[in-house]
Structure formats: structure tokens, C-alpha cells
């Protein structure tokens, strides 16, 4: 039985030059011209085509009306759900629930595949420290360790086996590489970084996604250190296909090969095609430059023909791997069995409530007290909003499927307490009489829940913000309620990024970050607000006090003058909320940190553990976090680095000892020659509830190897 690569080799031998080039061509539309090209074997992949029947018809044309009958690879942006919409990826990351991330991706893939989609352009694994950048919403936050776990989980989920044993859809780790470093948070702007930052911070999630089996990689729009990623041989040929020996498809971003012209890196479309292909981009998304120019290029440069065979083999191998040759068509009845089924909807609700982060809860304002005819005011522009709750990249989600916060208040709170609703403001501008109505509603309530934040068109691709506070009209709404009434205020933030909401933090009684929670937004939020679910989310990104603090992140360098002066004369040094931060309706206590060695060899490991006790009045989940600091290195090291976490459930009064093992994998770094090494010296270690707190210990890595007879001090 030939394996997929061998089948691809065998097919390649039968292909003409035109048909080989055809496999490298992808279009994001399919009209008469594209259908003609499909028949001629000049297109290998499509995106932006929808409906099982439509896709089956296009497949039929490819399989039955072209000379070799090579099936099409149909791709789509299935980012955080297909029809059932999960929290935006940044919100999912806030759950720190890796299994849930995988489950969500598996469900999204199943729903997409039931409509004939067999390739998703996800997970986006771009690291960034730029919350002004709209696409921070699509990633897993500022920390490489958490982002690595998320990347691998999402790839596993998307590529989980279908009923025929094939990957449900091919995943695509994107955007290779460095896209999140855009200057000023301006999408598509230039990026520059040292090779150290590239290899230490930007590349690892790609590597972990590829280790998890990602069948494709998408190159970025941006130029990296002067060479656009979609024409960057160092990135694609040297690192990805060379060092990492990557066997999958490298697809460009939308017209990003043609955009080498706009970058000033290619003379014209032909030059762009040549440079993109030579750099290692196997498939051109939608620009058409490969279709138009590759044939001539290979006639002029026959030495490049082996590159074409390599690219086509990658593409054909993935098509065999997906079973497209054996099963090119989708059973159109499948979607009834799959789309938005109860367990998918329940998972969307569970994932959304686990992503919600409790940031403040003064005087136990939450959970809401619904007893004895309580009156709850529900206010704000995002409380009754079916569209924005799904967030960016959710266009296959349907508004009519969304449970809004108002829906859930009416169905689940109104029977127990008096609910008064007032919109109060639009998202971006005031509402006529909005303030008056909102103040009146709050005044007549025992507590006011104000749902504010960003609309979907303030977050995601090219929706960057130069100021990441609440829109002015929304803050004015909350200020009016605080000023005119004595009613306790619960602020619910729905956003695709961290928000610089210092005034809200200081004046609200409770603050909750719900991100854009997806189809089950209202139910997930009410589960938390009324205490049916004890919030367990932790921030995957630092929340600044002010936009002016950006970039601000927990794993910073110590510098030569730590705390000699204030970072700023006008703003505190500290973030508003640190990475890893999140409260619960119960309390947790950390005690009795233990290490099983004070000294270890360079190839040794050390076990670090601590007791975590639920000291509150109700069961709750806690994300126990492990951080290290390599105090002295051949290059400067961050003051803290996340190297482990465990999300645990503790019953009221329960204590668990949580332990982690630090191995060379966690203790190693890139030395001054960018070589991975565990360097001797002192390490600090913390186990705690977030990046700002924890029990501290230390150990020393000795300059010996375990097999040399360590004679080291172990407990």
C-alpha cells in the first residue's frame, strides 16, 4: 500500500507543466473563468466558496472534467467556530483550558467539513505585545509557553480524525512570521526584530503547531527586517523547510506574493511570482501571479523546476492525506447531524464561561444576589447585541443563534428578580436620552450590570486602535451612573484586546472581562454573574493602565537600572492587571513550596511543588502557575518566564499538592550563539496564582552532567 507521498510521486510523473503549476494556484472566487481553469487543471484550491452542494459541484468538475481528476482543496477561515461560535482565540486562551481549545477546534472542523471545507486558515499563532493591533484577538496572548500549548491543541483539534480516519480539516499555522511585531500596532506595517526575539518568542508556537502535525503554514503580509515574509528565503527555505524539514504546504496570505511589488521588493507581477516561489511559497492565494507567470519563469529558469515538483508534491500529499482522492465529495445530509447540535452549543457555553476573567469584586458584589425581589439593572450598548458578541472572524455564525446578555437576563434572572434594561449608549457614539434612561434604570436597581466594550469592527484584521480605553461615550455612561446614583456597578467588558480601563477599575464595584464570547455569550455570562459557574479565567495578556505604557508585558528584562526611577513621571509602573491574573468567588492559599534538590546537573531536573488550599466558601478552579528566572546568563534573561500551569478544581476547604518538574526543556535558553543550552547558575522559581505573586524558591544548576556522578544535594 503506497503511502500518501508515494501516491503523490506517482501522480506527479503524469502531470504536464501546466497541471503542476495549476496545483500552486488558489483563488478566492469561482466564476465562469475559474471554472474553465479548473477544467484545464490550472487551479488546485479555492476559498470563499460555500455550501456542500456548491462545493460538490466544483469538485465534480475538477474530478470528472479535468484530465487527471485531481480534487480541489477547499479552504476557509474557520478561526473560532464555523456555525457554532466559540470565544475569540484570545478569550479561549484566558480559560487556560487546553483540552477545551482542542475540543472547540474539533467541533469547528466537524461543522466546516460537513459543508465541504477541508482546510482552515487557523490557528493564528502570531505572538504580539501590541494590544493596539486588531489581530491580538486571534492569538493566545503574550506568553510563549501558553501560546505553544494553544497552538498544538488547536492543530490537534482541527486535524482530529473524521469518520474515515482522515484529518477532519488541514490546519494552517499563520502568519509566518513576525506579523505581531507590526510597528505602532498598525496592521501590515513593517516589522523588525533580532534573530534572538524571532527564535525565542516568535517562532516557537509555529514549531509547536508543526510538531502537532499542522499540514500547512501561511506566510505573512509583513516585511521582516527588510524582507517581506512572503518572499523570505531565510524564513521559509532556511528555517521552515531547512532546519525544521517541514513537509507541508506553504501558502501565501491573500495576494501577499503580488504585494512584494508594493513592498518595493519585486519589479512587477512576474518578478513577484519568481521571488515568492523561489523563497518557498508553494501556493499563491488569489493574486494569480503564479498562474500568469510561472510557466514562462520555468522556461527561462529550468533550474527551478525541481522546486516546482517539490511544491506540487507537498500539495498532492496533503490532498491524499485528507482522503480527497478517495472521498472528494461531502454527504450533504451530514450537516443536519453536525451543525449547531446541542453538545456543540453546550461546549460553546462551557468554553465561554471558562474564558471569563473576574478582575475585581469589591464587597462581593458578585455573584448577583437574586433573593427577595431584587432589582437588577442591565445597561450598555453590548447587552442586547447579537452580532458583536461573536467577535472577529465569525461570519459563518448567525446572529439569530446568539444568546445575548439581555436574552439570558430575561430567561434566567427575570423570573427571580426585577430586570430593567436600558441601552444607555451606542458603542461608538452617545444615544439620544441614553444617559437619562440608563441612570433612571440604575437608580431603581439594587445593582447595575453595565455591558460595554468593543464592537466587532473595532477588533480583528486592520481594526487597530491608537487608544485602547473604552470609547468615550461608554465611559461617560458609567461615570453618569456612578455620579447620579449610589447603585453598585458591575462592569462587563466585551473586547478583542486588553483595555486600558483604569478609571473603571477604580470606580466599579466589580469588573469582568468576557472578551467576545460567541454564540452562547448571554448564558455564559449569566452563569458567572449569578454564580452558577465560579469564574476561573486568567489573563493571557497584560492589561495596561494607559495606552502609553505599551509595550508592557510580564516577562520583561531587569535592565541595568531596575526601579531606579519610575518608568513614567505621569503613570504608575505597574500594569492595571498582570499576565495570569484572575479572581474567583472563593479564595486560594499557596503554602509549603518544596524543591527536591537545591543543586542539579545541567542535564538534570528538579521537582517543585506547593500546597494550594481552597480557603473560601465554595468550590472553585484555580490555574496554578509555575514561573522561573534564570538569574545570570550568557544573555540577559526575563525577570519571569511561565514554564508550567495546571488548572485544578478544589472543593471548599480542599488542599492539593501541585507539582511540576523542571527539565532542561524548561530551563534551557538560547545562549549568545543562539544555541539551546542549560547554563549553570542560580534559578529562582515561583508557584502562584499569577505572574505578580507566588511562593518563591531557588536552586542552582551546577556545571556538571548527571552521569559524571553528581554528588549533588538532593532532598
Question: Which three three-digit cell numbers place residue 696?
Answer: 518563591
State the Cα–Cα distance between residues 186 and 197, nearest whole angstrom.
20
Q: How many helices (H) and strands (E) does the chain have?
A: 21, 26
Looking at the DSSP assignment, which residues form a beta bridge with residue 376?
419, 447
| Least spacing, CB of residue 239 vs ligand GLC, in Å | 20
Binding residues for ligand GLC, total number by CB under 6 A = 6
For 228, phi then psi, to 5°, come to: -55, 135
The answer to whether 445 and 120 have CB atoms below 8 angstroms apart is no
| Least spacing, CB of residue 88 vs ligand GLC, in Å | 14
CB-nearer residue toward ligand GLC: 253 or 454: 253
Burial 107-139 (b: 16+ CB within 10 A, else e): bbbbbbbbbbbbbbbbbbbbbbbbbbbbbbbbb
CB-nearer residue toward ligand GLC: 497 or 602: 497
Q: Per-residue string for binding with ligand GLC, 194-233, x by CB under 6 A?
A: ----------------------------------------
CB-nearer residue toward ligand GLC: 121 or 421: 121
79-138: contacts with ligand GLC (CB under 6 A): 121
Binding-site member from 19, 34, 77, 621 for ligand GLC (CB under 6 A):
77
Residue 230, classed as helix, strand or coil, is helix
CB-nearer residue toward ligand GLC: 123 or 644: 123
236-295: contacts with ligand GLC (CB under 6 A): 253-254
CB-nearer residue toward ligand GLC: 139 or 620: 139
340-379: contacts with ligand GLC (CB under 6 A): none
The answer to whether 178 and 202 have CB atoms below 8 angstroms apart is yes
Listed residue (278, 55, 251, 85) closest to 172, CA to CA = 251
Burial label for 160, CB within 10 Å (0-12, 13-18, 19+), is middle
Which residues lie closer than 8 Å to 273 by C-beta, 6 or more apart?
257, 284, 289, 290, 292, 293, 294, 297
Question: Which three three-digit cell numbers place residue 282?
Answer: 508553494
CB-nearer residue toward ligand GLC: 43 or 597: 43
The answer to whether 406 and 383 have CB atoms below 8 angstroms apart is yes
Burial label for 205, CB within 10 Å (0-12, 13-18, 19+), is buried
Angle between helices 521-529 and 342-355 (to 10 degrees): 50
* Closest residue to ligand GLC: CB criterion: 121
161-200: contacts with ligand GLC (CB under 6 A): 174
CB-nearer residue toward ligand GLC: 51 or 653: 51
The answer to whether 537 and 356 have CB atoms below 8 angstroms apart is yes
Residue 323, classed as helix, strand or coil, is coil
CB-nearer residue toward ligand GLC: 391 or 522: 391
CB 34: neighbour CB atoms within 10 A?
18
Which residues lie closer than 8 Å to 359 by C-beta, 6 or more apart?
505, 511, 512, 513, 543, 577, 581, 582, 583
| Least spacing, CB of residue 262 vs ligand GLC, in Å | 14
| Least spacing, CB of residue 256 vs ligand GLC, in Å | 8
CB-nearer residue toward ligand GLC: 174 or 293: 174
Of the chain, the end-to-end C-alpha distance in Å amounts to 55
77 is catalytic: no
Q: Which is catalytic among the residues 253, 284, 350, 384? A: 253
| Least spacing, CB of residue 265 vs ligand GLC, in Å | 18
Q: Per-residue string for binding with ligand GLC, 458-497, x by CB under 6 A?
A: ---x------------------------------------
| Least spacing, CB of residue 255 vs ligand GLC, in Å | 8
Residue with cell 462551557: 350
Q: How many residues does the chain have?
A: 715
Question: Which three three-digit cell numbers place residue 623?
Answer: 490555574
The residue ranges that bind ligand GLC (CB under 6 A) are 77, 121, 174, 253-254, 461
Which residues does the annotation mark as catalytic?
A: 253
Amino acid at each position: 500500500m503506497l503511502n500518501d507521498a508515494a501516491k503523490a510521486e506517482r501522480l506527479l510523473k503524469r502531470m504536464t507543466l501546466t497541471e503542476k503549476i495549476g496545483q500552486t494556484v488558489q483563488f478566492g472566487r469561482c466564476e465562469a473563468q475559474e471554472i474553465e481553469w479548473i477544467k484545464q487543471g490550472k487551479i488546485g484550491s479555492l476559498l470563499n466558496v460555500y455550501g456542500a452542494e456548491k462545493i460538490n459541484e466544483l469538485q465534480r468538475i475538477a474530478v470528472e472534467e479535468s484530465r487527471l481528476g485531481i480534487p480541489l482543496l477547499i479552504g476557509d477561515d474557520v478561526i473560532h467556530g464555523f456555525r457554532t461560535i466559540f470565544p475569540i482565540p484570545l478569550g479561549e486562551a484566558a480559560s487556560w483550558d487546553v483540552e477545551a481549545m482542542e475540543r472547540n477546534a474539533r467541533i469547528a472542523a466537524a461543522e466546516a467539513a460537513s459543508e465541504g471545507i477541508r482546510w482552515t486558515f487557523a490557528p493564528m499563532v502570531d505572538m504580539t505585545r501590541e494590544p493596539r493591533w486588531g489581530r491580538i484577538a486571534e492569538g493566545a496572548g503574550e506568553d510563549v509557553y501558553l501560546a505553544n500549548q494553544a497552538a498544538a491543541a488547536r492543530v490537534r483539534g482541527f486535524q482530529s480524525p473524521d469518520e474515515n480516519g482522515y484529518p477532519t480539516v488541514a490546519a494552517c499555522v499563520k502568519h509566518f512570521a513576525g506579523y505581531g511585531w507590526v510597528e505602532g500596532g498598525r496592521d501590515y506595517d513593517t516589522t523588525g526584530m533580532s534573530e534572538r526575539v524571532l527564535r525565542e518568542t516568535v517562532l516557537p508556537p509555529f514549531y509547536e503547531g508543526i510538531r502537532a502535525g499542522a499540514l500547512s503554514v501561511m506566510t505573512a503580509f509583513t516585511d521582516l527586517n527588510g524582507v517581506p515574509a512572503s518572499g523570505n528565503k531565510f524564513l521559509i527555505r532556511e528555517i521552515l523547510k531547512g532546519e525544521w524539514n517541514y513537509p507541508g504546504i506553504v501558502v501565501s496570505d491573500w495576494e501577499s506574493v503580488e504585494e512584494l511589488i508594493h513592498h518595493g521588493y519585486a519589479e512587477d507581477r512576474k518578478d513577484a511570482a519568481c521571488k515568492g516561489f523561489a523563497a518557498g511559497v508553494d501556493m499563491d492565494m488569489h493574486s494569480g501571479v503564479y498562474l500568469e507567470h510561472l510557466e514562462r519563469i520555468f522556461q527561462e529558469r529550468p533550474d527551478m523546476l525541481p522546486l516546482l515538483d517539490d511544491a506540487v508534491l507537498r500539495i498532492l500529499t496533503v490532498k491524499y492525506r485528507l482522503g480527497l482522492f478517495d472521498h472528494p465529495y461531502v454527504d450533504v445530509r451530514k450537516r443536519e447531524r453536525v451543525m449547531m447540535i446541542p453538545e456543540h452549543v453546550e461546549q460553546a457555553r462551557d468554553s465561554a464561561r471558562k474564558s471569563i476573567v473576574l478582575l475585581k469584586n469589591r464587597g462581593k458584589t458578585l455573584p448577583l444576589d437574586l433573593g427577595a425581589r431584587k432589582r437588577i439593572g442591565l445597561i450598555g450598548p453590548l447587552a442586547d447585541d447579537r452580532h458583536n458578541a461573536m467577535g472577529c472572524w465569525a461570519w459563518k455564525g448567525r446572529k439569530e443563534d446568539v444568546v445575548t446578555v439581555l436574552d439570558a437576563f430575561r430567561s434566567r434572572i427575570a423570573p427571580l428578580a426585577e430586570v430593567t434594561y436600558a441601552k444607555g449608549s451606542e458603542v461608538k457614539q452617545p444615544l439620544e436620552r441614553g444617559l437619562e434612561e440608563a441612570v433612571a434604570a440604575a437608580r431603581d436597581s439594587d445593582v447595575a450590570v453595565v455591558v460595554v466594550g468593543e464592537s466587532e469592527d473595532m477588533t480583528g484584521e486592520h481594526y487597530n486602535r491608537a487608544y485602547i480605553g473604552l470609547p468615550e461615550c461608554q465611559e461617560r455612561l458609567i461615570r453618569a451612573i456612578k455620579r447620579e446614583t449610589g447603585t453598585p456597578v458591575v462592569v462587563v467588558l466585551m473586547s478583542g484586546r486588553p483595555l486600558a480601563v483604569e478609571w473603571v477599575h477604580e470606580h466599579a464595584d466589580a469588573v469582568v472581562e468576557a472578551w467576545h464570547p460567541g454564540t452562547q455569550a448571554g448564558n455564559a455570562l449569566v452563569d458567572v454573574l449569578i454564580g452558577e459557574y465560579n469564574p476561573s479565567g486568567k489573563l493571557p495578556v497584560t492589561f495596561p493602565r494607559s495606552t502609553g505604557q505599551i509595550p508592557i508585558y510580564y516577562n520583561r528584562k531587569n535592565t541595568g537600572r531596575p526601579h531606579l526611577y519610575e518608568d513614567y513621571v505621569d503613570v504608575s509602573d505597574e500594569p492595571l492587571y498582570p499576565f495570569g491574573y484572575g479572581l474567583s468567588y472563593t479564595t486560594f492559599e499557596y503554602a509549603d513550596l518544596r524543591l527536591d534538590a537545591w543543586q542539579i546537573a545541567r542535564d538534570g531536573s528538579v521537582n517543585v511543588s506547593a500546597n494550594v488550599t481552597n480557603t473560601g466558601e465554595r468550590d472553585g478552579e484555580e490555574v496554578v502557575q509555575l514561573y522561573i528566572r534564570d538569574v545570570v546568563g550568557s544573555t540577559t534573561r526575563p525577570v519571569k518566564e511561565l514554564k508550567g500551569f495546571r488548572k485544578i478544581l478544589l472543593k471548599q476547604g480542599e488542599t492539593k499538592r501541585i507539582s511540576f518538574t523542571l527539565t532542561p526543556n524548561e530551563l534551557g535558553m538560547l545562549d549568545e550563539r543562539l544555541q539551546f543550552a542549560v547554563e549553570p547558575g542560580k534559578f529562582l522559581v515561583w508557584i502562584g496564582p499569577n505572574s505578580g505573586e507566588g511562593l518563591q524558591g531557588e536552586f542552582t544548576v551546577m556545571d556538571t552532567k548527571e552521569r559524571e556522578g553528581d554528588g549533588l544535594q538532593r532532598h
